[in-house]
């Protein structure tokens, strides 16, 4: 059952709260929010399922020479791996290299990721196998662990690996101090672009223009249109390569612009005028992972969702005219910025109300070129920075991942939206009845196909003075629950609509406690080491 909607706090009550927080009554009236949260930062990393990072939370092995994690006595449990799911997992496979049968297994801190699983829209459904959750090695395999061509093999068990609090130490410590969910899902099945589009619009149907071979990254919506199911690049981006698409319809940026709420997407490598120490610059500006030794272009176009929409795109990566212009309309950057622009704006006292942060590729956690330790350095840097700012008192940081990366997770997601496209394989050759699917952007598409969901389970943490302490939320939520929080807090509950999953989204309210006094909230900070993830 969908949770009851929280009543919106009145302007009078909100203004009293602002006065209590030290805002002068003589100052211009700010945009009134429905909660004490006036600044939201959404951090989106790559390719992690819930079990990949939290399978055994809060129990870590604590071997010698690795950062130790010991949970507080009152730490709540999560829906993770234990008992028969570890010992007699239905995905147990006999490895071809003679290693014997293998089920879920712990990856040590010194072990860099060994490649990238398959994680396409159809393949992920095949791994779920009508809810049996027993075909991950067969359907998803593991790139780089198979034959000489680097293709996935049907008997690769690397997809079953997970980390614990001795590697993702910072994330486990944040979960101890703040709040997390163990029932948060990708809105639909599919890779990075699918997750990015769902995050900002809840809609992957409504392709307006496509180039290249659309069958590689899209599927027929059933009404002579296309739905994105792969990783096409955005048409409106000078760095795009290969097949490209542009999207119709609205996104959350359009709604924030209408309401005059400041916002921005900040992504590593977006500034094409900058160069790295290696001399690389422009769209090919690149870095090398400090852990894996692999190189990657800093900026990945298909993970920047606002570039797919003409209304919010910055095709040439134009720079903001000034630090004061960041987050505001009427500037050539059109709300799309480099990650360093976020730090500049916040230091200047110009923190946007809503900020989406995407790290450069080698710090995103993506297993093809990054690692959890690279990712940890990025997350801790951002959070240490924000917790040391005066804006922290009314800030919430949501940490999540754009997709599961194809890694094993044992929990079957509830199917909130069915589909019967040529790529749907959840149960045989479909994902239920396509006649009950959500509509597309256009009125002529009453039941858009290619949006089977909810998809795989993802981690989600809320780090804020207003987050519940050492709390696990079990309520059903998905990527568009983040949309809903923005819509409810700043937009009077207005929805993106046009077939968006935000119409179905559960609320993130359980992760917050807006009733405790400020004195109780002031101590809600945790400064960690970028290297170890342990408290400084």
Write the pLDDT tens digit of every residue in 371-398: 999 999 999 999 999 999 999 999 999 9
Element (H, E) at 105: strand 105-106
pLDDT greater than 80 at residue 47: yes
**155 token code pair:** 């008997």
Quick one: pLDDT at residue 100?
54
Quick one: pLDDT at residue 511?
98
Higher pLDDT, 52 or 156: 52
**262 token code pair:** 């400041």
Quick one: pLDDT at residue 8?
38
Write the pLDDT tens digit of every residue in 258-301: 999 999 999 999 999 999 888 899 999 999 998 888 999 999 99
As a whole number, mean pLDDT of residues 89-97 equals 70
What is the distance between the alpha carbons of residues 197 and 304, in angstroms, rounded to a whole number? 9
Q: Is the distance from CB of 201 to CB of 410 less than 8 angstroms? A: no
Quick one: pLDDT at residue 518?
63
Hey, CA dihedral for 25, 31, 36, 37, is it positive or negative? negative
Q: Is the distance from CB of 51 to CB of 164 less than 8 angstroms? A: no
Longest distance between any two alpha carbons in the chain, whole Å: 74
Q: Say if strands 207-211 and 477-478 run parallel, antiparallel, or are unpaired.
A: unpaired
Q: Say if strands 244-247 and 93-95 run parallel, antiparallel, or are unpaired.
A: unpaired
* Average pLDDT over all residues of the chain: 89
The residue written with tokens 């993506």 in the block is 366
Cβ neighbours of residue 243 under 8 Å, at least 6 residues apart? Answer: 210, 211, 212, 213, 214, 216, 217, 232, 233
Quick one: pLDDT at residue 92?
81
Closest CA to 92 of 164, 163, 162, 159: 159
CA torsion angle 353 354 360 361 (round to 10): 170
What is the distance between the alpha carbons of residues 180 and 473, in angstroms, rounded to a whole number? 6
Strands (E) located in 110-262: 161-162, 179-185, 207-211, 218-220, 226-228, 233-234, 244-247
Write the pLDDT tens digit of every residue in 296-341: 999 999 999 999 999 999 999 999 999 999 999 999 999 999 999 9
Quick one: pLDDT at residue 21?
36
Quickly state the pLDDT bin for 114 (edges 50, 70, 90).
Answer: low
pLDDT greater than 60 at residue 181: yes
Quickly state the pLDDT bin for 30 (edges 50, 70, 90).
Answer: low
**186 token code pair:** 């990708």
Considering the entire predicted model, what is its pTM? 0.92
As a whole number, mean pLDDT of residues 75-85 equals 94
What is the distance between the alpha carbons of residues 321 and 405, in angstroms, rounded to a whole number? 37
Higher pLDDT, 114 or 170: 170
Quick one: pLDDT at residue 134?
93
Q: How many CB atoms lie within 10 A of CB 330?
A: 7
Task: For the chain, list the domains and their CATH numbers.
Answer: 39-202+247-521 (3.40.720.10)
Strands (E) located in 213-362: 218-220, 226-228, 233-234, 244-247, 263-267, 286-288, 295-297, 336-338, 354-358
Q: Is the distance from CB of 453 to CB of 501 less than 8 angstroms? A: yes
As a whole number, mean pLDDT of residues 49-61 equals 97
pLDDT greater than 80 at residue 496: yes
Quickly state the pLDDT bin for 15 (edges 50, 70, 90).
Answer: very low
């Amino acid at each position: 059952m969908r949770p009851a909607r929280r009543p919106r706090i009145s302007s009078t009550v909100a203004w009293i709260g602002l006065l209590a927080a030290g805002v002068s009554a003589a100052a211009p009236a700010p945009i009134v929010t429905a909660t004490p949260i006036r600044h939201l930062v959404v951090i989106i990393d790559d390719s992690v399922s819930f079990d990949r990072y939290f399978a055994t939370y809060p129990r870590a092995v604590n071997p010698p020479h690795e950062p130790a994690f010991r949970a507080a006595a009152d730490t709540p449990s999560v829906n993770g791996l234990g008992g028969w799911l570890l010992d007699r997992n239905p995905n147990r496979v006999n490895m071809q290299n003679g290693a014997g049968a293998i089920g879920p297994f712990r990856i040590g801190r010194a072990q860099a990721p060994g490649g990238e699983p398959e994680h396409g829209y159809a393949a992920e459904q095949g791994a779920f196998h009508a809810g049996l959750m027993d075909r991950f090695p067969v359907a998803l395999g593991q790139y780089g662990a198979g034959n000489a061509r680097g293709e996935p093999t049907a008997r690769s068990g690397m997809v079953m690996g997970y980390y614990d609090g001795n590697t993702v130490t910072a994330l486990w410590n944040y979960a101890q101090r703040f709040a997390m969910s163990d029932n948060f899902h990708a809105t639909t099945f599919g890779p990075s672009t699918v997750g990015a589009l769902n995050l900002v619009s809840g809609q992957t149907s409504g392709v307006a223009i496509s180039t290249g071979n659309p069958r590689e990254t899209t599927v027929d919506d059933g009404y002579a249109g296309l739905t994105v199911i792969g990783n096409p690049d955005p048409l409106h981006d000078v760095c795009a390569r290969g097949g490209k698409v542009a999207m119709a319809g609205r996104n959350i940026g359009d709604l924030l612009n209408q309401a005059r709420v400041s916002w921005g997407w900040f992504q590593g490598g977006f500034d094409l005028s900058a160069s790295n120490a290696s001399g690389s610059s422009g769209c090919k500006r690149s870095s090398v992972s400090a852990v894996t030794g692999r190189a990657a272009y800093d900026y990945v176009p298909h993970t920047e969702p606002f570039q797919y929409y003409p209304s919010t795109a910055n095709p040439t990566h134009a720079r903001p005219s000034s630090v004061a212009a960041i987050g505001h309309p009427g500037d050539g950057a059109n709300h799309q910025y480099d990650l360093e622009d976020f730090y500049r704006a916040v230091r200047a006292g110009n923190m946007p109300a809503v900020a989406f942060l995407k790290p450069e590729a080698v710090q995103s956690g993506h297993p093809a070129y990054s690692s959890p330790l690279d990712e940890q350095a990025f997350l801790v840097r951002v959070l240490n920075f924000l917790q040391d700012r005066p804006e922290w008192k009314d800030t919430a940081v949501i940490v999540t991942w754009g997709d599961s990366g194809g890694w094993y997770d044992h929990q079957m997601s509830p199917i909130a939206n069915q589909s019967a496209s040529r790529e749907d394989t959840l149960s045989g050759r479909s994902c239920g009845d396509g006649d009950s699917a959500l509509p597309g952007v256009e009125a002529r598409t009453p039941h858009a196909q290619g949006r089977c969901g909810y998809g795989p389970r993802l981690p989600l943490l809320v780090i804020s003075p207003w987050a519940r302490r050492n709390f696990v939320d079990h309520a059903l939520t998905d990527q568009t629950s983040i949309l809903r929080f923005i819509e409810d807090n700043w937009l009077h509950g207005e929805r993106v609509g046009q077939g968006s999953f935000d119409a179905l989204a559960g609320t993130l309210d359980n992760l917050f406690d807006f009733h405790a006094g400020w004195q109780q909230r002031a101590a809600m900070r945790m400064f960690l080491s970028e290297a170890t993830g342990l408290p400084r």
